[in-house]
Amino acid sequence: MPSDQAAALQRAFTAYFTGAQHTVQWPLAPFSTGTPQQQQVWQALAAVPYGTTISYTALAARCGLAHAVRAVASAVGKNPLLIVLPCHRIIRQDGSVGQYRAGTAMKQQLITFEHDQLTV
């Protein structure tokens, strides 16, 4: 990645973690890998609002894949860009956070961080 893109990404993450920006803009195409179904799920991830959570079931319905919740959950788990594509906002139907590649504690911290930023 060229240094100007790396610098832009660093600024975007800094803005996200200081609460100044609610998304992290990736300088490269985030959907250049994965199957068409994975790309569809990842695009739906990008549309989940900051500070909110939805269930895997709700995400599957948004993708028109209500019959394929497990496949949607698998695509969420294969998200190549944590935080950029906010898979931490997807939780289990029972309200528990579920798994996260960076660990469940980190997932809960990100959810809490975003929620707290909205209530400040």
Answer for the pair 87, 76: CB distance below 8 angstroms, yes or no: yes
Residues 90 and 67: their CA atoms lie apart, in Å, by: 17
Phi and psi, residue 39, nearest 5°: -60, -40
The yes-or-no answer on residue 87 being catalytic is yes
Selecting among 48, 87, 110, 111, the annotated active-site residue is 87
Cα–Cα distance list, 114 to 6, 47, 52, 98 (Å): 24, 15, 8, 17
Return the active site residues.
Answer: 87
